[in-house]
C-alpha cells in the first residue's frame, strides 16, 4: 500500500514538473519573454536552454510513469492497459525525436551574435519540433487522465469490498 502510494505520488509530481512546467512555459513564459525582449529570436535563446531542462524532466517523467504503470499493471483492466501503453509509447517516441532534433536546431543558432544562421531551415525544423512537442503534450494529458481514472476505479473497487 505504501509503495503504491509513493509510486502514485512520484507519478503526480513528475507530471506536475514536466507536463505542468511545459504548459506553463508555453502559455506564459514564452509570450512574456517575447514581449519583454522585443522579439522571438531573443526569447529563442532562452528557450534553447530551457528546453534542455524540459527534455530532461520528460525523460525522468517517462521513467517514473513506466514504473508506476508496471506497479499496477496486474490490477488494471485491458482498456486502461491499452491507453497507458499507447500514450506512454507516444510520449517516449516524441521524446526521442525531440532529443534528436534539438542538436540540429542548436547548430542553426549563433549564440555569439544571437542570430539564426539559416532562418528558413531553422523555422521549418522548429515548427516540426513544436508539432512533436504538441503530440507529446497531448499524449501526456491523455496519460494523466488514464492514470487518474485507473486510480479512481481502483479506489472505488476497494471501498466497495
Residue 159 lies in a domain: no
| Number of structural domains the chain divides into | 1
Taking the C-alpha atoms of residue 108 and residue 100, their distance in angstroms, rounded to an integer, is: 14
Residue 160 lies in a domain: no
Domain enclosing residue 32, as ranges: 2-153
Closest CA to 96 of 130, 55, 54, 143: 55
The structure's pTM equals 0.91
Cα separations (Å) of 115 from 18, 72, 109, 120? 28, 49, 6, 13
On the question of pLDDT at 161 being above 70, the answer is: no
Instruction: Give tens-digit pLDDT for 26-69.
Output: 999 999 999 999 888 888 899 999 999 999 999 999 999 999 99
Instruction: Give tens-digit pLDDT for 66-119.
Output: 999 998 888 888 999 999 999 999 999 999 999 999 999 999 999 899 899 999
Closest CA to 88 of 70, 67, 71, 66: 66
Closest CA to 60 of 129, 10, 6: 10
Amino acid at each position: 500500500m505504501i509503495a503504491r502510494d509513493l509510486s502514485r505520488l512520484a507519478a503526480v509530481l513528475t507530471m506536475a514538473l514536466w507536463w505542468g512546467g511545459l504548459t506553463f512555459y508555453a502559455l506564459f513564459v514564452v509570450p512574456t519573454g517575447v514581449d519583454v525582449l522585443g522579439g522571438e529570436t531573443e526569447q529563442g535563446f532562452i528557450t534553447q536552454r530551457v528546453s534542455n531542462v524540459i527534455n530532461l524532466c520528460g525523460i525522468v517523467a517517462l521513467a517514473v510513469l513506466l514504473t508506476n504503470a508496471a506497479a499496477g499493471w496486474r490490477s488494471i483492466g485491458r482498456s486502461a492497459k491499452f491507453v497507458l501503453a499507447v500514450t506512454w509509447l507516444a510520449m517516449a517516441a516524441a521524446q526521442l525525436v525531440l532529443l534528436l532534433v534539438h542538436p540540429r536546431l542548436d547548430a542553426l543558432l549563433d549564440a555569439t551574435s544571437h542570430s539564426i544562421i539559416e532562418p528558413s531551415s531553422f523555422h521549418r525544423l522548429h515548427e516540426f519540433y513544436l508539432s512533436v512537442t504538441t503530440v507529446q503534450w497531448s499524449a501526456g494529458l491523455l496519460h494523466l487522465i488514464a492514470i487518474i481514472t485507473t486510480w479512481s476505479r481502483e479506489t472505488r473497487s476497494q471501498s466497495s469490498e
